[in-house]
Structure 1
Amino acid sequence: MTRLTAIAALCLVLVAGGAYWLTAGSAKAPDLPFAANAQDADVDTSSIVEMNLGNPDAPVTVIEYASFTCPHCADFHANQFKQLKANYIDSGKINFIHRDVYFDRFGLWASMVARCGGKDRFFGIISMIYDQQKDWIGSGDAVGIAERLRKIGKVAGLDAAQVDACLADQDKAKTLVAWFQQHADADNIDSTPSLVINGEKYSNMPYAELSAIIDEKLAE
């Protein structure tokens, strides 16, 4: 078990009843355990869509492992990612994949909202989530965080009922955690942001170093 897997197993809680306590104005969000072990090998994760940009047939694939509650991930998105998009993704030179990491339930909730609009809206929504990270996390109160994430979803064009349904989807939450753990274990992910470029893992780095690595692999 990796460090991140252990964190997920200990810290994540399911969003069961999320629509109810949000609309009812409850002062406290319920902390309900997962209905089943998220590491269960029997969890079918085939329904989880891989979120990618660029050319899926490109010779170089860059996978970013990131948590929506990680400040360094927000910084990566504001800087390295924007340059990657302009110089490599939009031109089809690389295939870029974003894989969610769940340090905590709030990162899971953010992922569920981001995925609520499907693949076409995912990257637009996560841009809002990263850009507004400090605002929606606020003081860390669960009800306030969920409400602010709902607002982000609504600004992105999702209706309130749709967002509530996504947040309350227990099966999706459990499947997402199992999906995350499978990939994190396979790629030995122990921090965020982490990058996997053509199967080789790298830590966070400045854009110039990242660009040099990509250029070297493109030239192979």
Structure 2
Amino acid sequence: MDRRTLIGGGIAAVALVAVGGGYFYFKQDSAQTEMDPAAGEDVAAIDTSSITEMVLGDADAPVTLIEYASFTCPHCKSFHDTVFHQLKTNYIDTGKVKFIYRDVFFDRYGLWASLIARCDGGMRFFGIADMLYDQQANWLQGAETEAGIADNLRRLGKVVGLEEAQVDACMADEEKAKTLVAWFQQNATADEVTGTPTLIIDGESHGNMSYEDLSQILDEKLG
């Protein structure tokens, strides 16, 4: 489990700061309890109802699994590569599990990636998420500068059919970025998330695990 940011037991505030080109990033400060640029605004009081929950599977499935993950987390990529596709085929697509994906933001790059994945209102979210994890080394480690990472994400957005102006608008949407950060903090605090990937299975928290271990837990809950 990736523990670059320890959240549970007093969540570290995340400040959103504008930089050149309309991109945004975080400053982590455990003593800070408010969030810029909305100075004086309590994160818990920010209205996050505009954020769409990303869900796969039958809404009435007998088991609900929430994955907290970051697009920049190598352990999340490993989960995506070795566990998620089997989980989708054997449990989500068969109506046994309702799957909910929730973003965790360790850094500015994860936020940028989420803005791209949600750029069309979430209609292509899981397809873009697949590309973000599959190509993580290319768009993240493969760039030498922050501008390079941003450009890589912009190109990825265009590959999936987003228009250039649409990508520009999504990457520069300060209100959406601020709301996503608040949404992440509210969810992570409520579920006591301390690292990624974290799996919440019918209200019970679990860390990263193999497909075999996960399927055993799911089978026990399914009876």
Structures share fold, TM-score greater than 0.5: yes
Change (3 A) 1:199 1:111: same
Q: State whether structure 2 residue 113 is matched by structure 1 residue 110.
A: yes
**For 1:4, which of 2, 7, 31 is the aligned residue?**
7
User: 2:37 maps to what in 1?
Assistant: 35
**SS class of match (1:205):** coil
Q: State whether structure 2 residue 66 is matched by structure 1 residue 63.
A: yes
**For 1:124, which of 127, 130, 138 is the aligned residue?**
127
Higher helix share: 1
CA distance in 1: counterparts of 2:110 and 2:57, whole angstroms: 25
Structure 1 residue 56, shift from structure 2 partner: 1.3
% of aligned pairs identical?
Answer: 58
**Residue pair 1:65, 1:194 contacting (<8 A) in 2 also:** yes
Q: State whether structure 2 residue 193 is matched by structure 1 residue 189.
A: yes
User: 2:84 maps to what in 1?
Assistant: 81
Using the size of structure 2 for normalisation, the TM-score is 0.86
**For 1:165, which of 166, 169, 172 is the aligned residue?**
169
Change (3 A) 1:193 1:31: closer
**For 2:210, which of 194, 206, 213 is the aligned residue?**
206
| Structure 1 unaligned spans of 5+ | 22-28
**Residue pair 1:109, 1:167 contacting (<8 A) in 2 also:** yes
CA distance in 1: counterparts of 2:26 and 2:58, whole angstroms: 41
Change (3 A) 1:103 1:31: closer
CA distance in 2: counterparts of 1:143 and 1:85, whole angstroms: 34
**SS class of match (2:125):** helix
**Residue pair 2:26, 2:108 contacting (<8 A) in 1 also:** no
Q: State whether structure 2 residue 217 is matched by structure 1 residue 217.
A: no
User: 1:26 maps to what in 2?
Assistant: none
Structure 1 residue 7, shift from structure 2 partner: 7.8
Q: Write the deviation string for residues 120-156 of structure 1: whole angstroms up to 9, x where unpaired.
A: 2000001000011011112452100000000110001
The size of the alignment, in residue pairs, is 209
Structure 1 residue 186, shift from structure 2 partner: 0.5
| Structure 2 unaligned spans of 5+ | 28-34
Change (3 A) 1:183 1:30: closer
**Residue pair 2:16, 2:178 contacting (<8 A) in 1 also:** no
